[in-house]
Amino acid sequence: MTKTKDEAGLLVSLQDAGIRREGRFLVRGVRFDVRRGEIVTLIGPNGAGKSTSAKMAIGVFEPDEGRVWRASRLKIGYVPQKLNIDHSLPLTVRRLMTVTGPLSRAEISEALEAVGLSHMEEANVQTLSGGEFQRALLARAIARTPDLLVLDEPVQGVDYSGEIALYELISKIRDRQGCGVLMISHDLHVVMAQTDTVVCLNGHVCCTGTPEDVSGSEAYQALFGARASGALALYRHHHDHTHMPDGRVRHADGTVTDHCHPHDGHHTHDDGEKSHA
């Protein structure tokens, strides 16, 4: 018996979807699926149609051609690219959490705890660092336990180690809540190691596949030129390390230390297990 889309864990499916404005297509021929537990990243240069495609996926835009299918009663958590906040008005983290809809005290505390911001519930958002602010927005999105978490450039204004921490957090949330994740990124090095599928856009889909497939494809190389060389691979390279049977850690550069470096992310174990402690 064939499984229905819902049974297969499919959350959203774009089939040759396109958006036309003022007589021209902003993007067309967009096709990708997001399933429960899966991380899909849209990459492409500025103006490539990443946000437009994500907006089609979540139903903000109806496609002018092609089709978009969404699971019934799909709950979406959206982390916007930017948020215009009137800094002349005081806004606490707790209030930020509820401006888009009511949440119980328990839901607020749990979400802030998940992103490591429990101690900042009463803080004014103006005082947060870039990384803390992104985590507060993430907390707001996950507090409603979405089926699909959509993040528009989540690491903007976040430094390299903050970026890795944020990616690990997103991956942890995916594991715990079992949601699907659709992520947008205009920069190449930010494609997180846990991404299952990369969709490379430039007004249309240039290529789709695993990060390795995409970084090796001609379409991707042509689109990003010199910047493309090894960029996705580089991300993995930086975070690859191996746990030796005696507990020590061997890094990609061959050095051996007692512990992981704080910036270490994806890694493998010598016993063949692939996971993070």
Query: Which residues of this protein are in contact with ligand ATP, per CB under 6 A?
Result: 21-22, 26, 44, 46-52, 186
Find the shortest distance in angstroms from Cβ 12 to ligand ATP.
17
Taking the complex as a whole, how short is the minimal distance between the CB of residue 69 and ligand ATP, in angstroms? 20
Q: Find the shortest distance in angstroms from Cβ 24 to ligand ATP.
A: 8
Q: How far is the CB of 43 from ligand ATP (least distance, A)?
A: 9
In whole angstroms, the minimum distance from the beta carbon of 211 to ligand ATP comes to 19
Considering the complex, state which of residue 37 and residue 45 has its C-beta at the smaller distance from ligand ATP: 45
Contact 70, 54 (CB under 8 A): no
If the CB atoms of residues 22 and 253 are measured against ligand ATP, the closer one turns out to be 22
Task: Name residues whose C-beta falls within 8 Å of residue 232's C-beta, 6 or more positions apart in sequence.
Answer: 188, 189, 191, 198, 211, 212, 214, 215
CA distances from 266 to 118, 252, 262 (A): 26, 11, 12
Nearer to ligand ATP, 57 or 142 (CB): 57
Tokens of residue 175, six digits: 């594991």
CB 54 → ligand ATP: shortest distance, Å?
Answer: 8
* CB closer to ligand ATP, 21 vs 176: 21
Nearest C-alpha neighbor of 277 from the set 250, 257, 259, 251: 259
Q: Which is nearer to ligand ATP, 47 or 157 (CB)?
A: 47
Nearer Cβ to ligand ATP (168/220): 220
Minimal distance, residue 83 CB to ligand ATP, in Å: 15
Closer to ligand ATP at the Cβ: 40 or 108? 40
